[in-house]
Structure 1
Amino acid sequence: MNRLRDESLDFKGVPAGQGLHSIHPYPAMFHFLLVRKFLKELSSEGDLVLDPFCGSGVSAVEALLSGRNYVGYDINPLAVLIAKVRTTPIPTEKALKLLGLILKQEVKDYEVPNFPNIEYWFDEDVIEELAKLRAAIFSVEDDRLQNLFKVAFSETVRLVSKADLGEFKLVRAKKAKREDVKLLFEVIARRNIVRVSVLSKLPLKAFVEIQQLNVLEGLPLQDQSVDLLITSPPYGDSKTTVAYEQFSKLSIKWLGLDEGFKNHQLGAKEKSCEKALPSEELNECLEEIKRRDPKRAREVYSFYADLYRAIENISKKVQPGKHAVVVVGNRQVRGVELPTDKICVSFFRHFGFTHTATLVREISNKRMPSGTMKHEYVVILQKISIKF
């Protein structure tokens, strides 16, 4: 299987997060120009686009702006909240007026969320200010506007916490931070209102549907209904690659979102390596890792067994003749590089796809854990038959 290095996909000097895509930070985001390119080349206006690992909604925004109908799923409730805000038009003047009321509101009846070590992550006065602000936001009746302010609140929580924001995993910063909670929230909220106001000025024709969902349990979409699958699944289990759960933890606690998803991420439940998966490359790597560390081999197998099951569920939704674009990174485990791009090709072939090309791009503008992958692999496939 040939890989083609494509420097035009590096997008050097173009940040992955700008405009609508800069509403709330999120780890390992798709580059919007990558999504934009393949939406244009492999789909048409009015087509249905699916992203079953949609994260914070980069593909959702690009589909909406280009007139493609869109369905996105993610297991992380914070990601789903961010994605919805990035793709929901709001009445700007009403949002600004409501922001003023939230900031002026004298909140006397409020609750502090009860979670372990809250005092470790937040100063006492910060906890009080956040609790009051949260109560004011939760009193907003319009769901669109409440979500808008929840996302600004989530970013505020991150910035006023004692967490090291340079890390993906939740670790305490060495240096103390002091921020005015209300002022910071106001700045973030105003900035987000300006960014999302773009949507109200455009003649949007497409629909966007985003849900919290575990793809391992199936997708509530009609089989063979999708015109383009474009996605970037996790590059490995959350514990050893991008810690989405830890990145989201403090926000999820403060917003009262469901945190049970951490037990259902790809590879979260360890499995034995007894049943071989349909990928020679994977099975060879597993044998080598097993010789060095049997436990890590089981963890790696568990991740790919779940990825295989996810691809089985996803593949059913794509129409014959239509394309899939899957962006992955190839990590190393115990000195063995796992060719996830080739493994994905094998898995998709098993469900009726042919491999068109794999394009290699340098990761120069994507927030990733330090010391990890330097390249991404853009795997392009086409559905040629029905095989389930």
Structure 2
Amino acid sequence: MISARIKRQLETLDWDFSEHLQGTSKAIHWYPGTFPSEIPTTLIQALSVKGELVFDPYGGVGTTALEALRQGRKAWLVEANPVGCLIAYTACGLILLKSQEESIPSILFELLRTKITACINSSEVPDRIATDEHIPKISDRFLTQTVEPSPARFLRAQNREINWKSLENWIARETITDIRKLTDTLNSKSLGSFGQLLALTMISAVLRPASSQTQSWGHIADNVWPKKFEKKDFYKLCLNWLSRTEGIIKKTVIDNHPGKSQSGIVFWLSSHCWQKGKKPRVSPSVPASVLITSPPYAGAIDYTLSQRLSLYLLGYTEEEVKKLCGLEIGARRKRFLATSKNDWANDLVEALEQQASYMSEDGSFAFVLPHKDSGREIGPSNIEEFLDSKNCPKIMEIERSIIQGRARQSWTSIKKEIIQIYSY
């Protein structure tokens, strides 16, 4: 139960968060519909203590998990989109490695730079990096002890042949040649399993700017191929990503990470769709103290289709991409169905019934949901009705405006949100 003092503090905050809070995490890969890290970091501070488990059943790129790990909590993230899983795993892995030894992420970034430079110059990777090759082994060993699944196991799940045929519909032939060359170079055991995942995340992150469809990511989601092709400097895009991401990790402040004081797994990632009716394959053995999430909004975004280029990189065919989109709760492609919003609200509640079974008896729930002005009030209403039936009263409801300069979905009708907090 939230104390009266904490409730008053939460009620007086400016939840619009127009400015980025120093020390909190930032996304290392573009993804639509992400919420600012200030929301989960505030809720985590208010609703949990260090060492407890924070659960995000719609994890996206891992914003909630990153903030939980950063603040000394454990984190469990569930996400249906394979690209979201890759981004979240890599970002959280970097934060965990920084918590172990601050220099490790920078050494991994430098190893990738060296290999990219070798590609540019068509030369062999210099012998001087051999002295740093023990770092990938140290990284894999540490993450194997603290993350489930391990880097090796997670990498094997990504080990599918790249769908080059589909990528060629979007990217100039000369750029494809550079991508092929770099992916071959980075498919190296010398990088270790996590290093290869970092490389895969980097390539995924720059595919959209490397493509010849420059109008918007919506055109990629809608499968509108470019009318003409333009060669892009793929290597430069990768180097720029490395510099930006290294800067993000350096500026992210670690607050007594649990890995420093506890042994065992502190981060779990489950690739799972709640609509399948099955339990996630990966889950913690301890209940979660707090569930913090922003479920997908009905008819707002096709998360899967927005990442189609990255899904091709991960080996998905066009039919598999469409299948993933069909399983997506509230997918924008379903908005033309007369029952789309009712279906979305019902899917949220059915999933919540499963998710609640992983919560502790004195746990809390916090949801970032669309405001009633968006015409999606049935979702929050059904969640409230369900939790009330489980004797989980709503403690507070807060309104917030979406600052368009920080939004990934400014083209939608959603300009305001609500934050609902419930307690067992």
Q: What TM-score does the superposition give when structure 1 sets the normalisation length?
A: 0.79
Shift of 1:47: 0.7
Is the 8 Å Cα contact of residues 56 and 76 (structure 2) preserved in structure 1? yes
Q: Which residue of 2 aligns with 1:278?
A: none
2:107 to 84, 93, 96: 93
Give runs of aligned pairs for residues 102-117 of structure 1, distance below 5 A: 102-105=116-119, 106=122, 113-114=162-163, 117=166
Q: Matched residue of 1:162: which SS?
A: coil
2:330 matched to 1:316?
Answer: no
Shift of 1:5: 8.7
* AA partner of residue 250 (structure 1): L
Shift of 1:42: 0.8
Shift of 1:18: 8.9
Distance change >3 Å, CA 7–CA 375, structure 1 → 2: farther
Q: Which residue of 2 aligns with 1:300?
A: 341
Q: Matched residue of 2:397: which SS?
A: strand
Q: Which residue of 2 aligns with 1:145?
A: 195
Task: Write the deviation string for residues 174-231 of structure 1: whole angstroms up to 9, x where unpaired.
Answer: 8976531111111212332343356798753242222211233234546981101101
Is the 8 Å Cα contact of residues 40 and 67 (structure 2) preserved in structure 1? yes
Q: Which residue of 2 aligns with 1:58?
A: 63
Structure 2 residues not aligned, in runs of 5+:
1-9, 98-103, 125-159, 260-265
Q: Matched residue of 2:195: which SS?
A: helix
Task: Write the deviation string for residues 108-145 of structure 1: whole angstroms up to 9, x where unpaired.
Answer: 9xx99446654431111111111222222223451211
Task: Write the deviation string for residues 71-99 of structure 1: whole angstroms up to 9, x where unpaired.
Answer: 11100111111111111135222431343
Give the Cα separation in 2 of the matches to 1:114 and 1:22: 26
Give runs of aligned pairs for residues 1-388 of structure 1, distance below 5 A: 8-14=14-20, 20-89=25-94, 90=97, 91=104, 92-105=106-119, 106=122, 113-114=162-163, 117-140=166-189, 141-164=191-214, 166-168=216-218, 169-170=221-222, 171-172=224-225, 178-197=231-250, 204-206=257-259, 207-216=266-275, 217-219=278-280, 221=283, 225-236=287-298, 240-256=299-315, 259=321, 260-267=323-330, 296-330=337-371, 337-364=376-403, 365-383=406-424
Shift of 1:372: 1.6
Distance change >3 Å, CA 38–CA 114, structure 1 → 2: closer
Q: Matched residue of 1:325: which SS?
A: strand
Give the Cα separation in 2 of the matches to 1:337 and 1:198: 37
Q: Matched residue of 1:29: which SS?
A: coil
Which structure features the higher share of helix residues?
A: 2
Distance change >3 Å, CA 349–CA 223, structure 1 → 2: farther
Is the 8 Å Cα contact of residues 6 and 361 (structure 1) preserved in structure 2? no
Is the 8 Å Cα contact of residues 107 and 136 (structure 1) preserved in structure 2? no
Identity level (%): 22
Give the Cα separation in 1 of the matches to 2:214 and 2:353: 38
Q: Matched residue of 1:31: which SS?
A: coil
Task: Write the deviation string for residues 28-55 of structure 1: whole angstroms up to 9, x where unpaired.
Answer: 1121111111111110001111001010
Give the Cα separation in 1 of the matches to 2:301 and 2:65: 21
Name the count of aligned residue pairs: 349
Give the Cα separation in 2 of the matches to 1:297 and 1:254: 35
Q: What TM-score does the superposition give when structure 2 sets the normalisation length?
A: 0.73
Q: Which residue of 1 aligns with 2:4?
A: none
* AA partner of residue 195 (structure 2): L
* AA partner of residue 187 (structure 1): N
* AA partner of residue 66 (structure 2): V
Distance change >3 Å, CA 183–CA 315, structure 1 → 2: same
Q: Which residue of 2 aligns with 1:290?
A: none
- Please, which moves more after superposition, 247-256 or 300-309? 300-309
Give the Cα separation in 1 of the matches to 2:214 and 2:419: 31
